[in-house]
Copies of this chain bind each other. A is one copy, B any other.
Amino acid sequence: MAGSGETRYELYYWPSIQGRGEFIRLALEDAGASYVDVARLPDSQGGGVKAIMRLIDGKQGGLLPFAPPILKVGEQLLSQTANILQFLGPRLGLAPANDEGRAAVNQIQLTIADFIGEAHDSHHPIASSLYYEDQKPEAARRARIFLAERLPKFLAYFEKLLARNGGGGYLVGDALTYADLSMFQVQAGLAYAFPVAWARESLRHPLLVALRERVAARPRLAAYLASERRIPFNQHGLFRHYPELDAV
Binding site for B on A (CB under 8 A): 58, 63-66, 76, 78-80, 82-83, 86-87, 100, 103-104, 106-107, 110-111, 114, 117, 121, 125-127, 129-130, 138, 141-142, 145, 149, 154, 157, 160-161, 164, 172
The smallest beta-carbon distance between A109 and chain B, in angstroms, is: 9
The CA-CA distance from A129 to B153 in the complex, in Å, is: 13
The CA-CA distance from A172 to B141 in the complex, in Å, is: 41
The smallest beta-carbon distance between A56 and chain B, in angstroms, is: 9
21 examples of A-B residue contacts, CB within 8 angstroms: A58-B164, A63-B107, A63-B161, A63-B172, A64-B161, A66-B154, A66-B157, A76-B100, A78-B107, A79-B107, A80-B111, A83-B106, A83-B107, A86-B103, A86-B106, A121-B125, A125-B126, A125-B142, A127-B142, A127-B149, A129-B145
Closest B-chain residue to A80, C-beta based? B110
Q: A126-B145, A145-B126 are in contact. Are A83 and B110 (CB under 8 A)?
A: yes
The smallest beta-carbon distance between A96 and chain B, in angstroms, is: 12
The CA-CA distance from A107 to B80 in the complex, in Å, is: 6
The smallest beta-carbon distance between A162 and chain B, in angstroms, is: 11
The CA-CA distance from A25 to B202 in the complex, in Å, is: 39
The smallest beta-carbon distance between A193 and chain B, in angstroms, is: 18
Q: A64-B160, A64-B164, A117-B117 are in contact. Are A106 and B80 (CB under 8 A)?
A: yes
Contacts of A83 in B (CB 8 A): 103, 106-107, 110
Contacts A58-B164, A66-B154, A138-B138 known; list 7 others, CB within 8 Å: A64-B164, A65-B107, A80-B107, A80-B110, A80-B111, A83-B103, A130-B145
Among A66, A78, A106, which residue has the most Cβ atoms of chain B within 10 A? A66
Decide if A63 touches B104 in the complex (CB within 8 Å): yes
The CA-CA distance from A104 to B100 in the complex, in Å, is: 21
Decide if A110 touches B82 in the complex (CB within 8 Å): yes
The CA-CA distance from A64 to B145 in the complex, in Å, is: 24
